[in-house]
Amino acid sequence: MTTEQMRMDRVLAGSVAILVGLGLARFGYPPLVPGMVDAHWFTAAAAGYLGAANLLGYLLGALTASRFAGRVGAAAAIRLGLLLIAVSFLVLSWAAPFAWFFIWRFISGWAGGVLMVVAASTVLTTTPPSQRPLAGAIVFSGVGVGILFSANVVPWLTTVSISWAWVSLGVLCLLLTAATWGAWRDVSTAAGPSPAQATGAGSPARAALPLAVILVVVGYGLQSVGYVPHTLFWVDFLAREQGLGMGFAAVQWSIFALGAIAGPFLGGWVAARLGWYSALLLSVAFMAAAVLGSSVADTLWLASLCSFVVGAMVPGLVSMTSGYLSQLVPLEEHRRAWGWATTSFALAQAVGGYALAAVFGYVGSYPPVFIIGGVSLVLGLVVTLVARKPKEAH
């Protein structure tokens, strides 16, 4: 196999890792909830707490991913993450106590956080700079593929039986893991420090991250709040509050998923021409406008435009931020910087989710939720604007 073939195999494997870690482990869960409630496995409230368990695990995964991969090697960390998610689907395919489900949803979230940090960083830092925009687009398009699959296939699987749906997702993850297993060979020390360096043995203490990186990390956290209104409330807002019906809302969610597939490629195309920094700023600005516009969306064209743009920016901003960080720090530090960014994102999104749910509960209407999300994106844009713009490679 040539170097180019090995590189493309790794890029595709990175996309699969993100597909499994987020597209299925996170976005594959909501369509399973109605089936579990109808089968009397859990109440709707309990199922919601199980969803939160995945977010909590994802946060811990993002926090520990860099050090964990430094100890066991990037390849082992990625493979273990893939296997744990597959197993988590399989062992939850029958009615069991809440604690059992909570533990495994937490584990799948932790594995997803590890995959997001380690797999994405490994691919980007082992790809030549000129090819990183396309590589990042392919990797992060896995999120959109997972959303589209979860929105259209998982509900059909649940009509057979809820147990069948869980098993099917587990088997799919196992097949994807097996198909990409060999692509991670020879990357145990890629995109990060050796195990000794990770633990501090025989090496000096790591330098603090540059101010520009810290600003990007903070801005990324603020931007993550802007994801919450659509990922939690968009369908219900359109169907009930705007009175457009579930059919209309379901179409909009599919448009959202299509945007999530196209977003990384559109962002990569812009980054290849304008550079990572300019592409990131442009992406945040577009998403802020779309989230704010969503608060008054009551027509097909406006709702569809907002669905597509926000959907595109869900993985698009991830790709832009990761790519820009690859310019701000040496390659061997990218995994640490990206780990902090992912942690900031996960923490702010979790806090923002609960806060925006509380706002909705207080005011009883969705538009303020979208406005707050849009304002948070604007604040994230301002913080990112302050970040130092390096000389960019195109």
Please calculate the CA angle 62-165-161 and round it to the nearest 5 degrees. Answer: 145
3-state secondary structure of 2: coil
Structure tokens at 392: 């960019």
Mind listing the pLDDT tens digit for each residue in 337-363? Answer: 888 898 898 888 878 877 887 888 888
**If phi over 0 gives left and psi between -120 and 50 gives alpha, with beta otherwise, what is residue 362?**
alpha
Tell me, what DSSP letter sits at residue 379?
Answer: H
CATH number for 209-394: choose from 1.10.3720.10, 2.60.40.60, 1.20.1250.20, 3.30.43.10.
1.20.1250.20
Question: What count of other Cβ atoms lies within 10 Å of the Cβ of residue 309?
Answer: 22
Q: Could you tell me the pLDDT band of residue 71, with boundaries at 50, 70 and 90? A: very high
pLDDT score of 393: 43
Among 209, 382, 234, CA closest to 306: 234
Name the least confident of 188-202, 210-224, 341-355.
188-202
pLDDT at residue 112, rounded to an integer: 94
257-276 pLDDT, tens digit each? 899 888 888 888 888 888 88
Residue 205 has a pLDDT of 52
Per-residue model confidence (pLDDT) at position 388: 64
CA distances from 97 to 52, 83, 90 (A): 17, 23, 15
The C-alpha atoms of residue 9 and residue 3 are separated, in whole angstroms, by 10
Which band of pLDDT confidence, cut at 50, 70 and 90, is reported for residue 303? very high
pLDDT confidence tier of residue 202, bands split at 50, 70 and 90: very low
Q: Which residue has the tokens 């988590």?
A: 88
Answer yes or no: are the C-beta atoms of 20 and 173 closer than 8 Å: yes
C-alpha gyration radius of the chain: 20
**Within 10 A of 264 (CB to CB), how many other CB atoms are there?**
33
Q: What is the pLDDT of residues 89-132, one digit of tens each?
A: 999 999 999 999 999 999 999 999 999 889 988 887 778 877 87
- Give domain 1-198's CATH architecture: Up-down Bundle (1.20)
Q: Cα(377)–Cα(220) distance, rounded to whole angstroms?
A: 9
Residue-level pLDDT at 174: 97
Domain ranges (residues) in the chain: 1-198, 209-394
CA distance 203 to 351: 36
Two structure tokens written together for 6: 């090995």
Residue 2: band (very low, low, confident or very high) from pLDDT cuts 50, 70, 90: low
> Which pair of structure tokens corresponds to residue 212?
């520009």
Which has the closest alpha carbon to 318: 184, 193, 138?
Answer: 138
Confidence of residue 383 (pLDDT cuts 50, 70, 90): very high
pLDDT band for position 194 (cuts 50, 70, 90):
very low
pLDDT reported for residue 206: 61
Of the listed ranges 55-59, 187-191, 303-307, 347-351, the one predicted with least confidence: 187-191
Per-residue model confidence (pLDDT) at position 121:
84
- Report which of 30, 58, 109 is spatially closest to residue 344, judged by C-alpha positions: 58
Q: Do domains 1-198 and 209-394 have the same CATH topology?
A: yes
